[in-house]
Homo-oligomer: A and B are copies of this chain.
Amino acid sequence: MTTPKIGFIGLGRMGRPMASNLQRNGFATLSYDVNPQGIAALVALGGRAAGSIAEVARESDIVFTMLPAHPEVRAVVLDGIVPHARPGTLVVDMSTIDPLATDEVAAAVEAAGLGFVDAPVGRLATHADRGECLFMVGASPENFERVKPMLEAMGTTIHHCGPAGAGIRMKVVNNYLAIAACQLNAETLTLAARFGLDVERTIDILNGTTANNGHLKTNFPVKVLAGDIEPGFQIDLAHKDLGLALTSASSMKVPLAMGAAARECLQLARSRGFGGKDFSALLDAWCDLAGVEAPRLPSKT
């Protein structure tokens, strides 16, 4: 099997070290960016510079794109790559964009007889520098195998999340939790500070309870996701405790925006008959409200 010819479009703060790691790990790379500085860095490592997106498209077996937002992805892939690529070329978009834009681009790419993979990147630019990216990949099994060696040249953790479109969806889900949880922790430590609690001791304690131990690690898998929603810790009690936090924060002028939203969600769960169930059943209540079938883990038997 011959090494595929690699194209790379988008050499910004993330793309440049990623393309560099491809080149360093033996994948000869033809690269392009609107900014010539980015290309120069790749050429210094032995890569080749393309004069246009069309040139990259014509001469590559696999084209990686790493771009800021969906207008750039649409422009580069639909106007630049699709009209010039040979049949069977694989387009691998690693940008973080709206999943619906990914679907639109994927459909156009596949309609033109090319293959599509979405492989957005977890972690930070400093990880990209060290070749330690995490990829969440949406691809057919064949395309996943085809692209895997290059992803391994750029990263250390490669998750195959499902068919095309599943990678960007996983990224959106992951970042939703990561970012909202960050604000929630900020509110929590603000309340602790206002209460005069020592921050080191607070963190130490929260790290030892359900608070910061990850519902997805401990409670959910053995309760709601295993089909058991008997308490445990009742939603009615959780609702009362959240009320205590909001009332005492209120008397100390500490705003708790996320907790206030959460209490009304628990309220919705209670109006819908989940008050006596385990608090992990908030998942079932929310799925019910959203008209989504509540997920369950496969039984272990």
Chain A residues within 8 Å of B, Cβ to Cβ: 96-100, 122-124, 134, 136, 157, 159, 161-162, 166, 169-170, 172-217, 219-221, 225, 232-233, 238-239, 241-245, 247-251, 253-268, 270-272, 275, 279-280, 282-283, 285-287, 289-298
Contacts and interface: CB of A to CB of B under 8 A. Distances in A.
A161 B209 CA distance: 15
A186 B268 contact: no
B199 A225 contact: yes
Contacts of A198: 161-162
A192 to B, nearest CB: 5
A189 to B, nearest CB: 6
A249 B291 CA distance: 13
A215 B177 contact: no
Contacts of A161: 197-198, 201, 205
Ordered nearest first, which 10 A-B pairs have the shortest CB separation? A199-B295, A176-B245, A186-B282, A177-B211, A261-B261, A255-B267, A178-B211, A180-B262, A260-B260, A169-B195
Contacts of A204: 159
A208 B137 CA distance: 15
Given A97-B244, A205-B161, A225-B199, A190 B254 contact: no
**How many copies of the chain does the oligomer comprise?**
4
Given A214-B213, A253-B290, A220 B185 contact: yes
Chain A contact residues: helix, strand, loop or mixed: helix
Given A207-B217, A209-B122, A248-B99, A257 B253 contact: no
Contacts of A203: 216, 220-221, 225
B263 A261 contact: no
A147 to B, nearest CB: 18
9 contacts: A162-B201, A169-B192, A182-B215, A183-B265, A183-B266, A190-B292, A193-B293, A203-B221, A253-B270
Contacts of A297: 199-200
A221 B242 CA distance: 26
Contacts of A257: 257, 261-262, 264-265
Contacts of A183: 262, 265-266, 282, 286
